[in-house]
Amino acid sequence: MKTWKKFAHVDAKTAEEAAAILKSGRAALIAGGTDLLGTLRFEILPTHPETVVNLKADPFLDYIKEYGGALRIGALTRLEDIARSALVKERYAALGEAAHRTATPHIREMGTIGGNICQLPRCWYFRTPDNRFNCVRKGGGQCFAMSGDNRYHSIFGAVKSCLAVNPGDLAPALVALDAKIHTNRRTIEAERFWDVAFPGSTVLADDEIVMEVQVPAPPEGAKSAFLKFAVRKSIDFPVVNCAALVDKAGGTARICLNAVHGKPYRAARAEAAAADALKGNSTAEEAAEAAGAAAVAEARALPGDRNKWKIQIARTLAKRAVLACLR
Ligand SMILES: Cc1cc2nc3c(=O)[nH]c(=O)nc-3n(C[C@H](O)[C@H](O)[C@H](O)COP(=O)(O)OP(=O)(O)OC[C@H]3O[C@@H](n4cnc5c(N)ncnc54)[C@H](O)[C@@H]3O)c2cc1C
């Protein structure tokens, strides 16, 4: 039986205290621990933290409220609280549904919004215990998915030679809803939050901490939706997911796919196609169909076509997400 590598555990009373410990460079932040503890237990990374800094002792990072024209969710808010919030379900439906469709009730009771948007990729080469595949994402020389089993990997190309996808369910909802991520240092647009060299990475500095997620209130009459395709109905990551926000009266749409690329994929062509259709005389079905086709216009299966099935799923989810917003 494998034993855990040792690390110190520190309860930080405030985010400032946590950031000071993280600055040492050999520490990792823990919120719900549903992702981090698996990576430590199975030693999937080449390095191991000396200290795990527990943020949960900070009582001021767990809230859902609406003011100043935006929904504000503290970084330590549990996914289940987001999924159950009447406010979120009514006005920010895509986010509520994304939280509801994440993992299982147990994980949603532990997992937080901050941890969800900072989780590491699920690529099976990357996640193999004991760092057996020291892949390019970990600083090694190659992406094993290039020639290996890549049925769940990117349909929009590699990011720095890595084909892993961003596996988060909340990410596309936050991008579609034009959210902002507020840290202990700055405010980052959700769309830019994963804009980095490697899949599943964020733009956060080592000692930077997510404090709050802010979602602007959608325009009056606009509707949002989130859809997910997974192999199993529960306890499963997305094969593909999609969130949309459609303002029918204003003739605009924001559409984001995830689990299809190293970072959430904002489907700009689909947004333009939906907007054109909304401004013309198209039916809801025609607008949705056009958006679905445009969403995957630039998608390509990897050599061998093992992940080709994801293209059709992405197309269908984008279509259905737009349709759900127009009904
Ligand atoms: C069986 C299983 C199924 C799952 N299914 C899904 C799924 O369907 N969809 C999905 O999206 N996810 C899924 N997850 C992934 C993940 O557990 C959840 O997304 C959860 O929300 C992570 O939150 P956490 O608070 O537990 O994060 P932690 O494990 O505590 O942290 C995860 C990462 O985020 C960092 N972090 C945490 N909080 C902050 C913060 N405030 N600021 C900066 N960095 C921070 C940590 O340092 C760590 O690197 C699943 C996990 C498991 C084990």
DSSP for 137-155 reads GGT-S--TTTTS--TTS-S
At residue 153, the pLDDT reads 98
DSSP state of 261: S
pLDDT beyond 90 at 36? yes
If you average pLDDT over residues 250-266, what whole number do you get? Answer: 97
State if residue 34 touches ligand 1 by the CB under 6 angstroms criterion: yes
Quickly state the pLDDT bin for 233 (edges 50, 70, 90): confident
State if residue 119 touches ligand 1 by the CB under 6 angstroms criterion: yes
Cα-to-centroid distance, 101 and ligand 1 (Å): 14
Evaluated on CA atoms 118, 268, 313, 243, the torsion sign reads positive
Query: In terms of Cα–Cα distance, which of 41, 57, 30 is closest to 6?
Result: 41
Atom 50, ligand 1: which residue's CA is nearest? 103
pLDDT beyond 80 at 5? yes
Atom 38, ligand 1: which residue's CA is nearest? 115
Provide the 3-class DSSP secondary structure of residue 247: strand
Cα-to-centroid distance, 87 and ligand 1 (Å): 23
Are 238 and 248 in contact by the 8 Å Cβ rule? The answer is no
pLDDT beyond 80 at 21? yes
Mean pLDDT, all residues of the chain: 95
List all residues 6 or more positions away from 132 whose beta carbon is below 8 Å from its beta carbon: none
Are 270 and 255 in contact by the 8 Å Cβ rule? The answer is yes
If you average pLDDT over residues 175-187, what whole number do you get? Answer: 98
Q: 215 pairs with which residues across the strands?
A: 71
